[in-house]
């Protein structure tokens, strides 16, 4: 009865309040605005389906409406060579690319993409960044540039030649018009290669029509994935780099607007992407070398290919002279590779 009387009293007060115009304050729940990003990758649609799309889809799902990332492919919004400037201006919010081909105005951009013989295996890249100090050097370099935040680096596939004609010696490289990355092209020109720059989506047709003799842009997994194996006949098993080095970048202002929990989520998704590529490429390279039917494998003898490696180390020393920071990176490469050689198999040998 006591509880009942209390309920009646409260109900009566509510009714009286309604009659006298007194009411409980109305609270309007503010509608949260969804953060929306435009992220462009260096990769075309077929390749992006493996190297970034799954992680972005996972992020969008986990962000639960608080943030959405719209993914764009190679040259879709801006040409790859203009990605850095577009990111700096805020035309796009984020980028997945190597420093080299997106024309980053930093003295370590030469090490993005394929820096010749710096790595032998894909695990070399995350080890160099996380255990040998490259994370700190990359952050230091990009902190000096307004408008862009460097976020994370990871490994992709090794750099091999896929060509219309067979390559069995260094002399076979002379005069070949090859689509490749800026620094790789600069190095390979020492052996008579003619580096060619074209939009990514135009490469297959350019090889088919004879404008290009081949590509030195990837390993065999990408050759099959993106269609280049359909227009080339030979795959050279020698490579000038064991792994491509690429990164994620964000526009400063766009990154600052992202709350900490979503920044953490995006970092986790970047790590997921890095991890996926480790096994996708590693397994794919071996499987397609042994089971692929579209390209014949060729090799340059080890003693002849050793000349390319010797020339690469000369190239390292030339790059080291360009800036104190570049010299620090080269020093790390030398120390790291010496450690790997000393460790022996499976690291080297």
Q: Specify if 168 maps to a domain.
A: no
- Residue at token pair 């590509």: 215
5-15 pLDDT, tens digit each: 443 344 444 44
pTM metric for this prediction: 0.89
The rounded distance, in Å, linking the Cα atoms of 242 and 3 is: 78
Q: Specify if 344 maps to a domain.
A: no
Range of the domain at 249: 35-110+120-157+245-291
The answer, yes or no, to whether residue 94 has pLDDT greater than 70, is yes
160 C-beta neighbours (distance < 10 Å), count? 25
32: confidence class by pLDDT, cuts 50, 70, 90: confident
18: confidence class by pLDDT, cuts 50, 70, 90: very low
The rounded distance, in Å, linking the Cα atoms of 183 and 180 is: 9
299-339 pLDDT, tens digit each: 999 999 999 999 999 999 999 999 999 999 999 999 999 99
Q: Specify if 66 maps to a domain.
A: yes
Arithmetic mean of pLDDT, 104-130: 97
146-166 pLDDT, tens digit each: 999 999 999 999 999 999 999
Q: Specify if 345 maps to a domain.
A: no
Residue 221 · residue 157 · CB < 8 Å:
yes
The total domain count for the chain is: 1
The rounded distance, in Å, linking the Cα atoms of 162 and 225 is: 13
Q: Specify if 312 maps to a domain.
A: no
**Measured CA distances, 199 to 74, 91, 220, 318 (Å):** 8, 20, 20, 29
**CATH code (residue 50):** 3.40.190.170
Q: Specify if 80 maps to a domain.
A: yes
- Residue at token pair 């190239």: 315
Q: Specify if 273 maps to a domain.
A: yes
Q: Specify if 202 maps to a domain.
A: no
């Amino acid at each position: 009865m006591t509880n009942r009387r209390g309920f009646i009293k409260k109900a009566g007060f509510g009714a009286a309040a309604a009659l006298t115009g007194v009411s409980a304050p109305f609270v309007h729940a503010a509608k949260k605005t969804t953060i929306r990003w435009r992220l462009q990758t260096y990769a075309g649609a077929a390749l992006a389906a493996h190297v970034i799309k799954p992680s972005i889809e996972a992020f969008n799902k986990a962000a639960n409406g608080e943030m959405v990332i719209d993914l764009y492919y190679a040259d879709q919004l801006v040409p790859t060579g203009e990605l850095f400037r577009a990111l700096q201006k805020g035309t796009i919010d984020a980028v997945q690319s190597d420093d080299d081909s997106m024309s980053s105005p930093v003295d370590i951009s030469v090490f993005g993409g394929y820096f010749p013989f710096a790595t032998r295996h894909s695990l070399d890249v995350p080890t160099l960044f996380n255990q040998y100090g490259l994370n700190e050097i990359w952050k230091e370099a990009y902190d000096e540039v307004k408008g862009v935040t460097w976020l994370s680096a990871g490994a992709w596939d090794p750099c091999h030649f896929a060509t219309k004609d067979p390559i069995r010696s260094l002399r076979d490289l002379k005069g070949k018009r090859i689509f490749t990355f800026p620094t790789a092209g600069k190095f390979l020109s020492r052996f008579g290669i003619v580096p060619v720059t074209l939009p990514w989506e135009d490469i297959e047709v350019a090889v088919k029509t004879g404008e290009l003799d081949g590509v030195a842009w990837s390993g065999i997994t990408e050759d099959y994935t993106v269609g280049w194996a359909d227009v080339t006949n030979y795959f050279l098993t020698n490579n000038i780099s064991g792994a491509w080095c690429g990164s994620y970048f964000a526009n400063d202002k766009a990154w600052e607007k992202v709350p900490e929990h979503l920044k953490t989520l995006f970092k986790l998704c970047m790590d997921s992407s890095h991890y996926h590529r480790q096994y996708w490429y590693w397994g794919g390279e071996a499987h397609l070398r042994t089971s692929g039917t579209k390209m014949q494998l060729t090799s340059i003898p080890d003693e002849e290919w050793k000349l390319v490696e010797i020339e690469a180390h000369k190239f390292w020393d030339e790059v080291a002279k360009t800036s104190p920071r570049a010299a620090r990176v080269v020093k790390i490469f030398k120390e790291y590779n010496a450690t790997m050689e000393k460790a022996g198999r499976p690291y080297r040998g």
